[in-house]
């Protein structure tokens, strides 16, 4: 069994998986064997193969990632959902709390892992189809709508996705779904995307921390976390492939990559984390 990966209380780990390029049959078979019966049933309810594929890899990724921190095997995890659908670990019981949140969009899965539960992640593919801009914009808070309206047209889509992912990450961290009105809190972003200011009617803004990154050119990723303590979070990012194909341990049920073989990146390296680097890592 691999040595458990350390996750200090004030750290958040982000695991990124470019799922569309993972097609090794051995790897996929290994992932399949990790899913429990309800997950298998849910998987086959997806109409399109690409959605089934992403669902399979999401479930396997969550299981493999969680197993990096303990001696629990990926197929041993059980999960529950709260009243708003936020998944959490049901068992096996852990000495130290372990929490996660998942987001997926066309081509990319992200899993955030932390020791405290108020963590939310959202990723969006900027090339997604549909009239999301107009629709979602009408639910944003007034300052956000005014800010977007005043922007040059060329900047609007990018800044819209920055806001959208931040808002989703916050809603997901709180775990109460869309019972939180999207205009009950708002963000102010500076011109170059550096500073993120936040205000909310029903939550202490000072306790919240936010991060927002552009990723692989096509994606926007946001992370939200709340802490009652003064210690600032440290975020680390790793590329991940559940049950790496060709790896002897990976083929055995429950095998995961040795934790030490995962490259861990700091947020400042995010821009450098190119798709080719991840792909090279998968080979």
Ligand X SMILES: CC(C)(COP(=O)(O)OP(=O)(O)OC[C@H]1O[C@@H](n2cnc3c(N)ncnc32)[C@H](O)[C@@H]1OP(=O)(O)O)[C@@H](O)C(=O)NCCC(=O)NCCS
Nearest partner of 197 among 207, 184, 212, 210, judged by Cα: 210
Give the span between the Cα atoms of 34 and 56, in whole angstroms. Answer: 9
**143 binds ligand X per the rule CB under 6 A:** no
- Phi, then psi, of 108 in degrees rounded to 5: -145, 135
Q: Using CA of residue 24, residue 70, residue 75, residue 103, what is the dihedral sign?
A: negative
Query: Which of residues 13, 63, 73, 167 is near ligand X by CB under 6 A?
Result: 167
- Return the biggest CA–CA distance within the chain: 56
Nearest partner of 200 among 189, 185, 188, 183, judged by Cα: 185
**85 binds ligand X per the rule CB under 6 A:** yes
Query: Which of residues 74, 175, 254, 255 is near ligand X by CB under 6 A?
Result: 175
Query: Which of residues 53, 63, 104, 220 is near ligand X by CB under 6 A?
Result: 104
Give the span between the Cα atoms of 98 and 84, in whole angstroms. Answer: 19
Q: What is the 3-state secondary structure (H, E, C) of 63-78?
A: HHHHHCCCCCCHHHCE
Of the two residues 120 and 255, which places its CB atom closer to ligand X in the complex? 120
Pairing of strands 99-105, 108-114: antiparallel
Pairing of strands 108-114, 119-125: unpaired
**164 binds ligand X per the rule CB under 6 A:** yes
Query: Which of residues 67, 70, 103, 118 is near ligand X by CB under 6 A?
Result: 103
> Is the peptide bond prior to 92 cis by the omega test (within 30 degrees of 0)?
yes
**172 binds ligand X per the rule CB under 6 A:** yes
| Nearest distance in Å: CB 168, ligand X | 5
Sole window of 83-91, 185-193, 215-223, 270-278 interacting with ligand X (rule: CB under 6 A) = 83-91
**210 binds ligand X per the rule CB under 6 A:** no
**130 binds ligand X per the rule CB under 6 A:** no
| Nearest distance in Å: CB 135, ligand X | 7
Residue 62, class by beta-carbon neighbours within 10 Å (0-12 exposed, 13-18 middle, 19+ buried)?
A: buried
Of the two residues 131 and 153, which places its CB atom closer to ligand X in the complex? 131
Residues that bind ligand X (rule: CB under 6 A) add up to a total of 21
Give the span between the Cα atoms of 106 and 20, in whole angstroms. Answer: 8
Of the two residues 19 and 168, which places its CB atom closer to ligand X in the complex? 168
| Nearest distance in Å: CB 274, ligand X | 23
* Beta carbons within 8 Å of 45's beta carbon, 6+ residues apart: none
Sole window of 5-13, 21-29, 162-170, 250-258 interacting with ligand X (rule: CB under 6 A) = 162-170
Sole window of 3-11, 97-105, 189-197, 274-282 interacting with ligand X (rule: CB under 6 A) = 97-105
| Nearest distance in Å: CB 47, ligand X | 16
**86 binds ligand X per the rule CB under 6 A:** yes
Nearest partner of 114 among 179, 31, 209, 212, judged by Cα: 209
**34 binds ligand X per the rule CB under 6 A:** no
**178 binds ligand X per the rule CB under 6 A:** yes
- Give residues in contact with ligand X (CB under 6 A): 58, 84-87, 101-104, 120, 122, 136, 164, 167-168, 171-172, 175, 177-178, 182
């Amino acid at each position: 069994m691999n040595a458990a990966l350390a996750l200090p209380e004030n750290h958040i780990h982000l695991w990124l998986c470019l799922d569309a390029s993972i097609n090794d049959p051995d790897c996929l078979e290994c992932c399949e064997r990790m899913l429990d019966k309800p997950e298998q049933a849910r998987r086959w309810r997806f109409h399109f193969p690409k959605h089934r594929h992403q669902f399979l890899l999401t479930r396997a990724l969550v299981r493999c990632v969680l197993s990096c921190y303990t001696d629990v095997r990926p197929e041993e995890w059980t999960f529950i959902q709260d009243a708003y659908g936020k998944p959490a670990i049901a068992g096996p019981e852990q000495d130290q709390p372990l929490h996660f949140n998942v987001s997926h969009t066309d081509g990319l899965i992200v899993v955030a892992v932390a020791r405290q539960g108020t963590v939310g992640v959202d990723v969006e593919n900027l090339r997604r189809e549909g009239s999301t801009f107009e629709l979602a914009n009408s639910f944003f808070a007034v300052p956000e709508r005014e800010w977007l309206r005043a922007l040059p047209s060329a900047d609007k889509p990018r800044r819209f996705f920055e806001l959208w992912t931040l808002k989703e990450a916050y809603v997901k961290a709180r775990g109460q779904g869309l019972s939180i009105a999207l205009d009950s809190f708002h963000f102010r972003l500076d011109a170059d995307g550096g500073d993120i200011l936040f205000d909310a009617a029903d939550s202490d803004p000072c306790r919240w921390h936010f991060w927002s990154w552009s990723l692989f050119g096509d994606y926007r990723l946001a992370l939200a976390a709340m802490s009652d303590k003064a210690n600032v979070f440290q975020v680390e990012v790793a590329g991940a492939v559940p049950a790496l194909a060709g790896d002897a341990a990976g083929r055995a049920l429950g095998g995961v990559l040795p934790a030490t073989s995962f490259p861990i990146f700091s947020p400042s390296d995010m821009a450098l984390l190119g798709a080719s680097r991840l792909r090279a890592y998968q080979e």
